[in-house]
Every structure is written in structure tokens, then in C-alpha cells.
């Protein structure tokens, strides 16, 4: 009797094994899911797998959203078919991942394509279970290699890619509201851990003992924050036992690879609830200690520029528009780049090399090698390097700049700067009109601006900025070297500009400095 009570308290079953829960099948009359909310492509994946003789269910957050009467944005499917078996059933299917091998079934092409993620039921794997499976004569060498040292001394799961039954797959999942399985053909929900009950109570509850589960995978701390922020608007909150060990387990994140923490940080900020995430991190006592760059986001979230960037990201996600991590991180780190640039200019460095050097310093100090040398880092550099080039609106510069691949992101960045008063809003308005205009109208806009500058220079001489001031940054605009891909072909445009300066009636260009 006492042993049963302890097993229940610890979330374990007979012999100390995990409690895999009791299978409960709930019909449509009780769960009330509207089948019209299910995506046709997810239905097709489930039907194809079942027709081939496999089990298949919609799983995870999609089931939770369906229970709440919401149309899920993404659909995941779980099955007892292996990745290779799944791939063989679909024309466009790709096996991805190392730690977790899953299949992406792709529908459509280009930007309109949709992906249904299909995973195989996995076994609940601790060291005891690994030893038991490894003793089975039918276990292959590759499976044995994957099961050695399944859990380290702290309880963290190291290897978790062993197929298993549905009941163990449900226990592997973190929260009860994400561990339900929905068969859209029979309209049945399979629930092992009271997920339907918790969804009605608006409770985010960990399956099993929370402390043990956080030790198995410390990233569950971050997932707890993410679900809190995402579902808080629907009245959900962390159940008290799930919340209690969060701060105690924070130190466990030190053993998680930095690349994985970086990816989890981006998920926190790109789910459409970044401002709510910042508030949840503060409320849960996790404003510091998860990841240095995330700490910086929380610290700067109250600044007008970063707050505007977070709001813009949430808005775009809410409207179903794509968001880029490079844009948001560029906004978060802009003050570092801007201040470093000003310091280098004060030491009489040339504007563009000074900006490049400031960017290098920021990557070294804030990002390192996690993603700062890949595509994300390259996009951030282009966004920053284009900012002084927006100041020059004569000659061929506007025409070449607007054709750059990262122009839209750089323009949106500049627009945010104008919205908070960092630069003149007239500059942002001009570029917006120019970017949307026809070729002829663009020529007229440049000619009109040139004439206005010419008239202004004949009437009054613009005051020179104080010597040594950071406001000297982009002067003169014509002297600034081009950024990015234009660097190799910079000589020819400079020769053409020198010839234009000899022509009568030509202005000297917009010499307004970039605001600091």
C-alpha cells in the first residue's frame, strides 16, 4: 500500500518503471472538436498512413488548439511507421534531423508550400530501459549504439531515438496538453495523462515528476516559458508543481549545447508572443540565466527601438507574414553597433571600415560563432551596412540599393528608426515612395530631390557638424564605400559621379548625417 502511494507520488509504476498512464479514448460528443478545423493535408497524411496499415494520429499542440476551438497553424502527425516507411509512401517527403529523425511531407511549392511533420512513436528511454532493450537478442548494432549511456549522471537524456509504443511516446512528451492523439477519421482523442481535463482547467502541467523531467531535458524550462506566453492570453498558467523547480533547474542549461539554446531563444521570440514572453520570463524569475543574448533582449525590451521591433514581429506573425531572426536581432544589437561606430569615427576612422569594425566587435562580444558567421549573421551585416547608404539619394545609388536582396529588411529597420525619432521621417517616406514607384517615377523623384538640394545650397550654406562628433559619420555621402556585393564594382560608379559633379546644375548630394 505504501509502495503504491510512493510510486504514485513519484510518477512511477511497478518495479520503479515510469507510469505510462491509462489509455482513454474520448469520442466526439465529449471532446467537441470541429472536424472542419483540420487541415486537408494533415487528413491526407493520416489517411495514407492508415491505408498502408499503420497507426496515425494528429498530435501535440494541434490537438490542444482543436480542443479550444482554434484552427491550428501547424499540424504534426505521429505514427508507428519508421521514417523510411513514411518516406516511401509520399512523393515529396524528406527525412531530417540527427537527434530526432522525422519526416517532412511537403505539399505545394514556393512560398505557398505547407509541411506536415511526421514523427515515429518513441520509447521512454532511461538507463534501466536501455539496458533491458540492449539485452534483447533482436536488437541491432545500430540500435545498441544509440542506447548506450541513454541518461547522464544528472539525469539528462542523451539518446532518445528508439522506437516504441504509443503509451511510451505519450510519456516522453513534456506537458499533458501536448500529449494527446487525435484520429480525424474516427474523431477519437486518445489521452493517457489527463490532457483534456487540464485543457478545460487551463493548466500547463508536466507529465510525471517535474524535477525529474527538467533534468532529463533542461530545455523543457524554456518550453514551459514559451507555452506560458503563448497560452496566457487564453487563461492558461503553469501548474504550481510544474512551476516550483524552474529556478532550481536553471543551472542545468549550462550543459545544453549553445547552438540548441540559440535556436530555442529564437523560438521564444518568433512565436508571435515575444512581448508576453519577456513578461513571463520576469514573472517566473528567469529574466537572467537562460542565454546571454536572451538576457539582453529582456533588458532592452523597454527601450523604444527594441520594443517597437518586438511589437512588429508579433504583428507580422499574427498576420501570417514571415519573420526573420536576423531583423529582430539586428534591432536588439543596433545600439551596440551604433555606439561602437561612433567611437571609431571619433578616432578618425573612415565611415564604412569603422562600421564594419563595429559590427565585428558586436558579433565577437554578443553572438560568437553560434550563428554570427552563417546566413543569419550575413543578413544582419547587410541590414546594418545599408543604413548610411540610405542617406545618399542621388546618382545611381538609389537604383542599385533598391535591388539588393536585403533591401526590404534594411528599409523596415530604417523605418523603425524613423518611427522612434532616431532619423528624419522624411527620409523614410522618400524611400518608401521610391521603392514602390515605377522606373520613370523613380527618375523624377531623384531629379526633383537633386533640384531641391541645388536650390537649397544656393540660398544657404548648411552648418558643418562639430568636429570629432559622431554626427560626422556618413559625410560626405559620395565618399562612403559601397557595402555588400557592390564593393567589387565600386570604381566605375565613383568615376561616373565625378563626371556628374563637373556638369552644371548638379547638386552635391544629401549630406545629412545619420542620426545617433
Q: Are 470 and 349 in contact (CB under 8 A)?
A: no
Short-list 211, 254, 251, 246, CA closest to 228: 246
Pick the CATH number of 2-125+160-201 from 3.30.460.10, 3.30.310.10, 1.10.3720.10, 3.40.50.2000: 3.30.460.10
- Separation in Å, CA 135 to CA 15, 18, 155: 18, 19, 22
What fold is seen in the domain 325-502? Answer: cca-adding enzyme, domain 2 (1.10.3090)
Candidates 74, 295, 339, 361; catalytic one: 74
SS3 448: helix
Cα dihedral value 86, 121, 147, 212, nearest 10: 150
Catalytic status, residue 314: no
Report d(CA 199, CA 208) in Å as an integer. 17
pLDDT at 125 (0 to 100) = 62
* Catalytic residue (one of 39, 65, 76, 198): 76
| Alpha-carbon span 169 to 121, nearest angstrom | 5
Q: Round to whole Å and give the CA distance between 189 and 405.
A: 46
Strand 237-238 versus strand 203-204 pairing type: parallel
Determine which one of 126, 160, 169, 174 is catalytic. Answer: 174
Residue scoring higher pLDDT (442 or 514): 442
- Looking at residue 504, what is its pLDDT? 35
Q: Between β-strands 203-204 and 114-120, what pairing exists: parallel, antiparallel or unpaired?
A: unpaired
Give yes or no: 169 in active site.
no
Residue 119 CA to residue 385 CA, distance in Å, equals: 42
Evaluate if residue 342 carries a pLDDT over 90. yes
Distance, in Å, from the CA atom of 105 to the CA atom of 90, rounded to the nearest integer, reads 7
Q: Percent helix, strand and coil across the chain, each rounded to 5?
A: 55, 10, 35
- Tell me, yes or no, if 74 is annotated catalytic: yes
pLDDT score at 246: 96
Identify the band that residue 458 occupies on the pLDDT scale cut at 50, 70 and 90. Answer: low
User: Averaged over 157-172, what is the pLDDT?
Assistant: 80
The number of CA neighbours under 13 Å toward the Cβ of 156 is 15
Residue 16 has pLDDT above 90, yes or no: no
The number of CA neighbours under 13 Å toward the Cβ of 500 is 15
Asked if residues 64 and 199 have their Cβ atoms less than 8 Å apart, the reply is yes
Q: Based on the number of CB atoms within 10 Å of its own CB, is 191 exposed (0-12), middle (13-18) or buried (19 or more)?
A: buried
**pLDDT given at position 460:** 43
Average model confidence (pLDDT) for the chain? Answer: 82
| Coil vs helix vs strand at 108 | coil
Q: What is the pLDDT of residue 126?
A: 53
pTM, two decimal places? 0.75
pLDDT: is 476 or 321 the higher one? 321
Q: 498 pLDDT exceeds 80? A: no
On whether the CB atoms of residues 173 and 179 are closer than 8 A, the answer is: yes
Place of cell 521570440: 269
Every domain of the chain with CATH number 1.10.3090.10 lies at: 325-502
- The stretch 36-49 carries a mean pLDDT of 96
| 373 or 121: which leads in pLDDT | 121
Q: Which one is predicted more confidently, 471 or 318?
A: 318
C-alpha cell of residue 125: 528511454
Q: Look at 203-207, 298-302, 369-373 and tell me which has the smallest mean pLDDT.
A: 369-373
Name residue 58's beta-bridge partners.
Answer: 77, 182
Q: Select the more confidently predicted residue: 500 or 456.
A: 456
Judge contact between 440 and 446, C-beta under 8 A.
Answer: no
Grid cell 545629412 is found at 512
Asked if 176 contacts 194 with a C-beta cutoff of 8 angstroms, the reply is yes
For residue 162, give Cα distances in angstroms to 77, 150, 155, 233: 17, 10, 18, 36
How far apart, in whole angstroms, are the C-alpha atoms of residue 346 and residue 358? 13
| pLDDT for 63 beyond 90 | yes
Q: With H, G, I as helix, E, B as strand and everything else as coil, classify residue 318.
A: helix
Peptide bond into 226 cis (omega under 30): no
Beta carbons within 10 angstroms of residue 87's beta carbon:
17
Q: Residue 494: is its pLDDT beyond 60?
A: no
Residue given cell 524611400 in the structure block: 431
C-beta atoms surrounding 144 within 10 Å = 13
Does the pLDDT at position 17 exceed 70?
Answer: no
268: pLDDT strictly greater than 80: yes
DSSP track, 399-419:
HHHTTSTTHHHHHHHHHHHHH
pLDDT at residue 33 greater than cutoff 80:
yes
Per-residue pLDDT reduced to its tens digit, 126-142 = 534 444 444 444 444 44
**188: which strand partners?**
183
CATH 3.30.460.10 location in the chain: 2-125+160-201
Percent of the chain with pLDDT over 90: 65
Q: Lowest-confidence range among 98-112, 210-224, 494-508?
A: 494-508
Distance between CA 398 and CA 134 in Å, rounded? 66
Mean pLDDT of 358-366: 92
Half-sphere exposure in the Cβ direction for 207 (13 Å, CA): 27
Q: Give the three cell numbers for residue 267.
A: 523560438
71-108 pLDDT, tens digit each: 998 999 999 999 999 999 999 999 998 767 899 999 98
Give the pLDDT band (50/70/90) at residue 160.
low
Q: What pLDDT does residue 457 have?
A: 60
Amino acid at each position: 500500500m505504501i509502495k503504491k502511494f510512493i510510486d504514485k507520488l513519484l510518477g512511477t509504476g511497478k518495479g520503479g518503471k515510469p507510469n505510462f498512464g491509462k489509455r482513454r479514448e474520448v469520442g466526439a460528443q465529449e471532446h467537441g472538436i470541429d472536424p472542419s478545423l483540420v487541415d486537408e493535408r494533415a487528413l491526407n497524411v493520416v489517411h495514407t498512413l492508415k491505408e498502408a496499415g499503420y497507426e496515425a494520429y494528429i498530435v501535440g499542440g494541434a490537438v490542444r488548439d482543436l480542443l479550444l476551438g482554434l484552427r491550428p497553424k501547424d499540424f504534426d502527425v505521429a505514427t508507428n511507421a519508421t521514417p523510411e516507411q513514411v518516406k516511401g509512401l509520399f512523393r515529396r517527403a524528406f527525412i531530417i534531423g540527427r537527434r530526432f529523425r522525422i519526416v517532412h511531407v511537403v505539399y505545394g511549392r514556393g512560398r505557398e508550400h505547407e509541411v506536415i511533420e511526421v514523427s515515429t512513436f518513441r520509447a521512454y528511454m532511461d538507463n534501466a530501459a536501455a539496458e533491458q532493450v540492449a539485452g534483447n537478442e533482436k536488437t541491432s548494432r545500430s540500435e545498441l549504439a544509440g542506447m548506450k549511456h541513454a541518461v547522464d549522471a544528472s539525469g539528462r537524456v542523451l539518446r532518445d531515438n528508439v522506437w516504441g509504443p504509443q503509451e511510451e511516446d505519450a510519456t516522453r512528451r513534456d506537458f499533458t496538453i501536448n500529449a494527446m492523439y487525435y484520429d480525424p477519421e474516427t474523431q477519437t482523442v486518445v489521452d493517457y495523462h489527463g490532457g483534456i481535463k487540464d485543457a478545460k482547467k487551463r493548466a500547463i502541467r508536466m507529465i510525471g515528476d517535474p524535477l525529474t523531467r527538467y533534468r532529463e531535458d533542461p530545455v523543457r524550462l524554456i518550453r514551459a516559458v514559451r507555452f506560458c506566453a503563448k497560452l496566457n492570453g487564453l487563461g492558461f498558467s503553469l501548474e504550481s508543481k510544474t512551476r516550483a523547480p524552474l529556478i532550481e533547474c536553471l543551472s542545468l542549461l549550462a550543459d545544453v549545447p549553445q547552438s540548441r539554446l540559440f535556436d530555442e531563444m529564437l523560438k521564444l521570440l518568433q512565436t508571435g508572443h515575444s512581448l508576453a514572453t519577456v513578461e513571463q520570463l520576469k514573472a517566473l524569475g528567469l529574466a537572467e540565466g537562460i542565454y546571454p543574448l536572451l538576457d539582453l533582449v529582456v533588458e532592452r525590451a523597454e527601450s523604444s527601438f527594441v520594443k517597437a521591433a518586438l511589437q512588429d514581429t508579433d504583428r507580422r506573425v499574427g498576420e501570417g507574414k514571415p519573420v526573420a531572426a536576423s531583423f529582430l536581432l539586428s534591432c536588439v544589437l543596433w545600439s551596440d553597433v551604433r555606439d561602437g561606430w561612433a567611437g571609431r569615427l571619433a578616432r578618425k576612422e573612415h565611415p564604412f571600415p569603422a562600421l564594419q569594425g563595429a559590427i565585428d566587435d558586436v558579433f565577437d562580444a554578443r553572438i560568437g560563432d553560434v550563428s554570427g558567421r552563417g546566413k543569419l549573421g550575413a543578413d544582419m551585416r547587410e541590414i546594418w551596412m545599408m543604413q548610411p547608404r540610405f542617406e545618399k539619394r542621388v546618382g545611381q545609388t538609389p537604383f542599385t540599393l533598391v535591388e539588393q536582396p536585403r533591401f526590404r529588411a534594411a528599409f523596415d529597420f530604417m523605418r523603425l528608426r524613423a518611427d522612434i525619432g532616431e532619423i528624419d521621417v522624411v527620409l523614410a517616406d522618400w524611400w518608401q515612395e521610391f521603392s514602390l514607384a515605377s522606373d520613370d517615377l523613380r527618375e523624377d523623384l531623384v531629379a526633383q530631390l537633386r533640384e531641391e538640394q541645388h536650390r537649397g545650397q544656393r540660398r544657404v550654406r548648411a552648418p558643418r557638424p562639430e568636429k570629432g562628433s559622431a554626427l560626422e559619420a556618413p559625410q560626405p555621402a559620395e565618399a562612403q564605400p559601397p557595402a555588400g556585393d557592390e564593393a567589387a564594382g565600386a570604381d566605375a560608379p565613383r568615376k561616373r559621379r565625378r563626371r556628374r559633379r563637373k556638369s552644371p546644375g548638379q547638386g552635391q548630394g544629401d549630406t545629412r548625417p545619420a542620426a545617433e
